[in-house]
Amino acid sequence: MKALRFTDWKTKPSLQEIDRPTPGPGEVLLKVAGAGACHSDVAVYEQFDETTVGPQLAPAYTLGHETAGWIEEVGEGVLGLTQGDAYLVYGPMGCGHCPACSRGQDTYCENAAQTPFLASGLGRDGGMAEYMTVPARNLVPLGDADPVAAAPLADAGLTPYHAIKLALPKLAGGGKTALVIGLGGLGQLAVQILKATTAATVIATDMKTDAMMLAESRGAVTVPAGDEQAARIRELTGGKGVDAVFDFVGLTPTIRLAQQVVAKQGRITVVGIAGGPVQWDFYSNPYEAELTNTYWGTMEELHELAALYRDGHLEVDVTTFGIDEALTAYEHLEKGTLLGRAVVVPHPASAEAGVASADALAAV
């Protein structure tokens, strides 16, 4: 089968022919419906090496850490799963038994130092392939929802959902505001998740006009970059400042913007991994404003997010590519020419049949 493999540090991934995997005990073989291309993968193959990240991310493996697909085969001891049913893959994979994993938060596994990989597509073979194996525990049901469009929920949706959920105490009630910086794969879903789960006014910004227009179509108020940007954002909050800022870029200027506009007792969550350093001292932030980072989300949250999607609260903007064009998908991501998410679809005919049957169900 074809797979997009990350083969060496600081080397672009390449399409290779590899054996179709066999599910081990407790695993399933998933026929991949869609695999999203995340900007973090660009950091994996362009930026990282053995001195900057642990051995868990060391090549070689198949990329793709946000995947959905259909069950093709079940391994020994797997109960209650039916061939052909559509599932999202919860990517993080910890030891499975420590307190963090037991609450579905494999991202913060207490035995992470001993696990051989971080996640599906991050150290372990992921979804940029025709088939992949997944522990049955990591599957989240999609029901009749389209698994191609759903694939980005596994990371581009789950990461903002987790960050927003932790910030909900700041956004509860009326008259609250949230700011989304960076309206790509994650940011566009952040706008919609904020709209679906809070009553806050959502302010959004990006360097790209089309990305801002898309966010406006989902109810955000946009403020372009420029000298007046921070003042204009503060004005939209009635001068109080923003209750919760989500920075999907993470450069020095975007975190600085967040610090300039955050309210007293507000919260800034840096999600983007650009790694820009910032100044923090007693006087640099309003009183009791929190500045934090975040990493992915929990298994329970992916079930909650899938339910929001199945209930029609989220539209995932996808541009699809065949498996032969998987590298092209990443090139578009790097150049910034995409609106929303690039999703690699290895079995276009099955995907169309799946979409058609979902449409037919919706029409009944």
- Site for ligand NAD, rule CB under 6 A: 38-40, 43, 155-156, 159, 181-187, 205-208, 211, 248-251, 253-254, 271-274, 294-296, 333, 336
Q: Which does 206 bind (CB under 5 to 8 A by kind): ligand NAD, Zn ion, none?
A: ligand NAD
What sign results for the dihedral spanned by CA atoms 95, 98, 102, 107?
negative
Taking the least distance from each CB to ligand NAD, the nearer of 38 and 351 is 38
By CB under 5 A, is residue 271 in contact with Zn ion? no
208 binds, among ligand NAD, Zn ion, none (CB under 5 to 8 A by kind): ligand NAD
Binding-site member from 40, 62, 133, 188 for Zn ion (CB under 5 A) = 40
Exposure b/e, 250-274, CB count within 10 A at least 16 = b: bbeebbebbbbbbbeebbbbbbbeb
Total count of residues recorded for the chain? 364
- Residue 290: both structure tokens together: 């929190």
Q: How far is the CB of 230 from Zn ion (least distance, A)?
A: 29
Residue 121: closest CA among 54, 28, 70, 59: 59
Closest residue to bound ligand NAD by CB? 184
Choose between 41 and 146: whose C-beta lies nearer to Zn ion.
41
Task: Match 């029609």 to its residue by tokens.
Answer: 312
Give whichever of 36 and 241 is closer to Zn ion, judged by the CB atom.
36
Q: Cis omega before residue 60 (within 30°)?
A: yes
Nearest distance from C-beta of residue 4 to ligand NAD, angstroms: 16
CB of 122 to Zn ion, least distance (A): 8
Shortest spacing between CB 361 and ligand NAD, in angstroms: 30
**Token pair in block for residue 136:** 């049955």
Rounded CA-CA distance 206/257 in Å is 12
Supply the minimum distance, in Å, between the C-beta of residue 2 and ligand NAD.
23
CA atoms within 13 A on the CB side of 308: 22
Q: Which stretch binds Zn ion (CB under 5 A): 40-48, 310-318, 328-336, 349-357?
A: 40-48
Residue 78 binds what, of Zn ion, ligand NAD, none (CB under 5 to 8 Å, by partner type)?
none
**Shortest Cβ 83–Zn ion spacing (Å):** 28
Q: How far apart are CA 172 and CA 168, in angstroms?
A: 6
Backbone angles phi, psi at 332, to 5 degrees: -60, -40
Cα separations (Å) of 19 from 13, 16, 135? 18, 10, 19
* Residue 250 binding: pick among ligand NAD, Zn ion, none (C-beta 5-8 Å cut-off by kind): ligand NAD
Task: List interacting residues with Zn ion (CB under 5 A).
Answer: 38, 40, 155
